[in-house]
């Protein structure tokens, strides 16, 4: 008879705390100008006050640590609200709400997000993570646009426009001259509405 596995609540809680400490340490490293160069399992372990083996046992790879940091940033930045927004009965209302959520997210910690996106241009591993996260945003818009009863080509073009309008670099460009995140969000919503009207007009 194989021995029964026993999960101690105390042990589970300690492991969860260790995991959170590792993620926080990784986020701290990535939030610096040289974070991409300093980011390794060894560096994360040292910053978290644990061994490299502990980090490896918790995550398995540097990429998994990176994904955990992205997941935490996404949760803290409010992206968990996207599912509810996409489910709105009116696709135009859904589009406005999704844009608002992304603009709030981009403004949550623009310095750190800027560094992470910049890292994605110089490191293949980081680029793969950033690209995958961005493609999720494209898929959200595809789901919304599909409900607008446009022709396939118009749908595809509109999704590409919405994807570009809601990118972090575009949002960052609007955050100049003291413009607030709310004002930038309204501008993007207006541009998106105009893009929808143009897509419908192109079919006429």
Q: Looking at the predicted structure, is the pLDDT value of residue 131 above 80? A: yes
The model's pTM: 0.80
* CATH of residue 21: 1.10.10
* Domain total of the chain: 2
Dihedral sign computed on CA atoms, order 77, 174, 186, 183: positive
Assign 121 a pLDDT band (cuts: 50, 70, 90): low
Assign 118 a pLDDT band (cuts: 50, 70, 90): low
Instruction: Give yes or no for a contact between 143 and 86, defined as CB atoms under 8 angstroms apart.
Output: yes
- If asked whether residues 105 and 18 sit together in one domain, one would say no
Domain contains 89: yes
Please state, in angstroms and rounded to a whole number, the distance separating the CA atoms of residues 157 and 153: 6
User: What digits encode the pLDDT tens for the residues 41-50?
Assistant: 999 999 999 9
Range of the domain at 94: 77-201
pLDDT of residue 86: 95
Domain contains 68: no
- If asked whether residues 120 and 167 sit together in one domain, one would say yes
Domain contains 3: no
Domain contains 2: no
- If asked whether residues 127 and 157 sit together in one domain, one would say yes
First vs last C-alpha separation in the chain = 73
Domain contains 70: no
Query: Which pair of tokens denotes residue 63?
Result: 């990429």
- If asked whether residues 44 and 93 sit together in one domain, one would say no
pLDDT of residue 167: 92
Dihedral sign computed on CA atoms, order 149, 151, 157, 160: positive
pLDDT of residue 114: 64
Dihedral sign computed on CA atoms, order 25, 70, 11, 58: negative
Domain contains 40: yes
pLDDT of residue 5: 54
Query: Which pair of tokens denotes residue 109?
Result: 């910690």
- If asked whether residues 57 and 97 sit together in one domain, one would say no
Domain contains 1: no
Domain contains 196: yes
Residue with tokens 């992470």: 116
Please state, in angstroms and rounded to a whole number, the distance separating the CA atoms of residues 49 and 20: 12
């Amino acid at each position: 008879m194989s021995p029964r596995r026993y999960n101690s609540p105390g042990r589970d809680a300690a492991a969860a705390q260790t995991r959170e400490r590792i993620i926080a340490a990784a986020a701290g490293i990535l939030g610096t100008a040289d974070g991409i160069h300093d980011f390794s399992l060894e560096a994360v372990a040292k910053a978290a006050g644990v061994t490299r083996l502990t980090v490896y046992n918790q995550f398995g790879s540097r990429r998994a640590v990176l994904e955990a940091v992205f997941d935490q940033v996404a949760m803290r930045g409010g992206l968990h609200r996207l599912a509810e927004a996409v489910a709105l009965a009116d696709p135009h209302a859904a589009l406005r709400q999704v844009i608002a959520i992304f603009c709030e997210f981009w403004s949550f910690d623009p310095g750190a997000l800027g560094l992470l996106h910049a890292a994605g241009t110089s490191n293949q591993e980081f680029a793969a993570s950033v690209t995958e996260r961005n493609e999720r945003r494209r898929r959200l818009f595809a789901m919304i646009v599909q409900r607008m009863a446009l022709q396939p080509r118009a749908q595809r073009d509109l999704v590409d426009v919405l994807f570009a309008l809601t990118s972090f670099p575009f949002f960052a460009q609007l955050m100049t001259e003291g413009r607030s995140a709310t004002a930038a969000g309204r501008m993007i919503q207006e541009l998106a509405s105009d893009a929808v009207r143009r897509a419908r007009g192109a079919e006429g």
